Amino acid sequence: MSGPPPVARDDVLGSPTAAADRARAGDETARKRRRARPQDRRRHAPLVLLVDDLEDQRELYREYLEFVGFRVEVAHDGFDAIEKAQALHPDVVVMDLAMPGLDGFETTQRLKLLEATRVIPVIALTAHGELPREWAISAGCAAYLRKPCEPYDLALEVTSALRRAAEAAPRVPVPVSAGVGSRARVMVVDDHEDARELFAQYLEGRGYAVSMAADGDEALRDIPLLRPDVIVMDLDLPRLDGWEAIRRLKRDPLTRGIPVVAVSGHVYDADRDKAWEAGCSAFLSKPCPPDRLHAEVERMLRRPR
């Protein structure tokens, strides 16, 4: 097998007439469904362009990505994707590789040749396990996931792509929003940055003021200063693990009253018992859907102190 063919710069957009026809044809069923469903179109949430010729796949991933707080636009083929990427300037493109007509490989190559879209990270999706990852990377993709892909895993990969892009971008000061002190405060403690930021983004979208820590030591340092109303604590942390961090919080008169939601990939009864004994108020197993975490945080806030 050989890799995807090179693309000439003067052939980036293909036939303007054909592209316009495809854009007009669109996917009217999905558009009507989107218009009929109420959505929270957060102006400042990251925008994801989801490209897939299969409507069921588009809808599945679109609904979950919107559910966890992203804005999502869809494209039904490569030509549609190129037009929308230039017009909308999404923060991330999720690209199915095996599309009819202009496939995902060539679409990605063309996006990387265009000044307006070349820096947008592209996450490749494919059901063809035999296609080498190197093909996607050589076409310009930043990441590669195989179908069937869990929506949660895709959301983590989108978050990771956004983080890498932010790290590569010039730093600019971000103004602090007014009125944060009036919102419920949640601290998310997790050593996996993508999971930490996914939970934080979802909770912030529901109105919480969210702080984050990457390990138990950092959490113990910041919690007495920030005084969160609820702590979400991963148990499997480096250095000081979550179990010991909870024990220390419960020994400190300043922090012992703060409810702790333990989140862990350890699902055996002994692990749960160990978390209860340490002093957690709730236990959730990973992978934990953000809406379930949100419900548990709400339950903690309603509890009498």
**pLDDT digit string, tens, across residues 59-80:** 999 999 998 888 999 999 999 9
pLDDT, one tens digit per residue, over 36-51 is 333 443 455 789 999 9
Tokens of 104: 């995902």
pLDDT, one tens digit per residue, over 250-279 is 998 888 899 999 998 876 778 788 889 999
Q: β-pairing, 122-126 with 260-264?
A: unpaired
- In this predicted model, which residue has the larger pLDDT, 305 or 232? 232
Would you say residue 7 has pLDDT above 80? no
Give the mean model confidence (pLDDT) for residues 131-153. 83
Are 182 and 225 a contacting pair, CB within 8 Å?
no
pLDDT, one tens digit per residue, over 206-237 is 889 999 999 999 999 899 878 899 999 999 89
Query: pTM here?
Result: 0.56
What domains appear along the chain, each with residue ranges and CATH number? Answer: 9-168 (3.40.50.2300), 182-298 (3.40.50.2300)
Alpha-helix residue ranges (DSSP H) falling in 133-172: 133-139, 151-168
Helix, strand or coil for residue 87? helix
Would you say residue 15 has pLDDT above 50? no
Cα distances from 244 to residues 31, 107, 251, in angstroms, run 50, 50, 11
